Structure 1
Amino acid sequence: MFFWRQEIYPGRWAAFSNAEAGNLALHVGDEPASVLRRRAQLESAMHVPAGSLRFMHQTHSADAVAVGSGDDRAAVVTADALISDDGSVPLAVMVADCVPVVLSARGGAGATAVVHAGRQGILDGIITNTVAELRRLGTEDLGAWIGPSICGGCYEVPADMRDDVAAVVPAAWATTRWGTPGLDLPAAVTSQLQQMGVQVHPVGDPAQLCTLDNESLFSHRRSAASGRFVGLVWNQ
């Protein structure tokens, strides 16, 4: 069920699911009842209350939204980052090539966040906006965990697109394994986080992190009908 799972601080956990957990998105043509059943199974594996895991409607925006334990759990927030100001709300971000990011106040007490960082979101500031909002809430010392996504050696783009993105985030510049223009989104996210003073922690085996290469993960580029796996952060 989990590609990677770890207690990142005492009582606080982060994880990234794999294809064994099944598709966890409601927007890719799957039977809603099947998706909701898988989400319930995931909550059980996380040891969090049924129905407590918060998902969002992701639109490749730069919007980071805070959710509270008293909010209506049935209400779907439109955003590309979710924040829990005290870490009490279990959070999920869905991906299938874009970069999933988990953020937490260091030490395990304080805020948490999950971020959906695709090319457009990175350009528009989803990473910087989320970190800025966490700091506005008083969380200065942050750790980050970047989950599986398509790598720079596989993410082929037109040359002018590479130029446009690299003009904003130079670390995004890449060349694919077959010599064409590419984008390294994980490197771009890492660069933005580090420039804001966030400590980035390793996740799993680097050789297994590319969603296109690793068939135990969903990849939209491998299949347009792909499901979505999730990045998670929660208290236990």
Structure 2
Amino acid sequence: MRIRRVVTTRAGGRSKPPFDSFNLGDHVGDDPDAVAANRRRLATELGLPENRLAWMEQVHGRTVTVVDGTESEPAEATDALVTSTPGVALVALVADCVPVLLGDPEAGVVAAVHAGRVGARVGVVPAALEVMVSQGARPERVEALLGPAVCGDCYEVPGPMAEDVEAHLPGSACKSRKGTPALDLRAGLWNQLADLGVGRIGVDPRCTMEDETLFSHRRSAPTGRIAAVTWMEQ
């Protein structure tokens, strides 16, 4: 089974500032017609019917929802989607949080995870992997991509917060470029995935706060959302 992965940028859409222009989030205050047009373009560019894109009502939790493409609405109150249905594209929306795309090409199971500070701390990624295993995946065959997110140099947080996240997600605490307490969630998630036995882990090194081709809530709220998408080709 061939697994596809795509990460969008903010260019090429219909949204007006401050959501310019390829905003895919429908919960940020953007014109609903512009968001709908952007989502239609995403489906077209992926070569998939619009109704084969699966969306989430992301809430910074650890709930995982299994979908098969028959759903007409976004999955309620969930931060990870799993499917074993070819041609169903799973979408995670971010603007500093870490999008995590997982796939076992042999079992034919993929997942898209929205892992912000809270979700990463409470274990949304292990929860998604557990559901994938229940669908036939094996950790050693899983390929993971940690997408663009705010980097440790930029993600300043209070010291007690960094310590708390580090206690739940070892390897995530760091120092910012200014020498202040910070978090590198991708580093913590890389360690977590490795400890879970995931065989291949890739990292998109782009920092959403530094790279103005991406949306960043910390840089310029309100703002739009980019998408990390994964699916299996039919």
TM-score by length of 1: 0.89
Structure 2 partner of 1:214: 211
| CA deviation after TM superposition for structure 1 residue 169, in Å | 1.8
- Supply the distance in 2 between the matched residues of 1:129 and 1:87 (Cα, whole angstroms): 22
Which of 134, 137, 144 pairs up with 2:135? 137
Amino acid at match of 1:79: T
Amino acid at match of 2:231: W
Amino acid at match of 2:77: T
- Supply the distance in 2 between the matched residues of 1:175 and 1:11 (Cα, whole angstroms): 39
Which of 116, 122, 125 pairs up with 1:124? 122
Asked if residue 92 in structure 1 is aligned to residue 91 in structure 2, the reply is yes
Amino acid at match of 1:174: C
For residues 94-173 of structure 1, the aligned pairs below 5 Å read 94-107=93-106, 110-140=108-138, 141-173=141-173
Structure 2 partner of 1:11: 2
Asked if residue 25 in structure 1 is aligned to residue 25 in structure 2, the reply is yes
| CA deviation after TM superposition for structure 1 residue 87, in Å | 4.1
- Supply the distance in 1 between the matched residues of 2:46 and 2:87 (Cα, whole angstroms): 14
Structure 2 partner of 1:40: 40
Q: Contact conserved, 1:23 with 1:228, CA < 8 A, in 2?
A: yes
Q: Contact conserved, 1:143 with 1:198, CA < 8 A, in 2?
A: yes
Gaps of 5+ in 2: 13-21
| CA deviation after TM superposition for structure 1 residue 214, in Å | 0.4
| CA deviation after TM superposition for structure 1 residue 203, in Å | 4.6
- Supply the distance in 2 between the matched residues of 1:128 and 1:122 (Cα, whole angstroms): 9
- Supply the distance in 2 between the matched residues of 1:44 and 1:148 (Cα, whole angstroms): 23
Cα-to-partner distance string for 1:65-123 (whole Å, 9 max, x where unaligned): 10113x2323543200001023441110000000001111134x511110000111111
Which stretches of structure 1, 4 residues or more, deviate above 4 A after TM superposition? none
- Supply the distance in 2 between the matched residues of 1:88 and 1:111 (Cα, whole angstroms): 12
Question: What value does the CA root-mean-square deviation take over the aligned residues?
Answer: 1.5
Amino acid at match of 1:221: R
Q: Contact conserved, 1:146 with 1:200, CA < 8 A, in 2?
A: no
- Supply the distance in 1 between the matched residues of 2:65 and 2:75 (Cα, whole angstroms): 11
Structure 1 partner of 2:72: 73
Structure 2 partner of 1:5: none
| CA deviation after TM superposition for structure 1 residue 11, in Å | 3.4
Structure 1 residues 87 and 198: CA distance shift in structure 2, 3 A? farther
- Supply the distance in 2 between the matched residues of 1:27 and 1:83 (Cα, whole angstroms): 22
- Supply the distance in 2 between the matched residues of 1:35 and 1:56 (Cα, whole angstroms): 15
Amino acid at match of 1:46: L
- Supply the distance in 1 between the matched residues of 2:113 and 2:123 (Cα, whole angstroms): 11
Which of 225, 229, 232 pairs up with 1:228? 225
- Supply the distance in 2 between the matched residues of 1:19 and 1:95 (Cα, whole angstroms): 11
- Supply the distance in 1 between the matched residues of 2:50 and 2:87 (Cα, whole angstroms): 14
- Supply the distance in 1 between the matched residues of 2:74 and 2:177 (Cα, whole angstroms): 43
Aligned partner of residue 15 in structure 1, secondary structure: strand
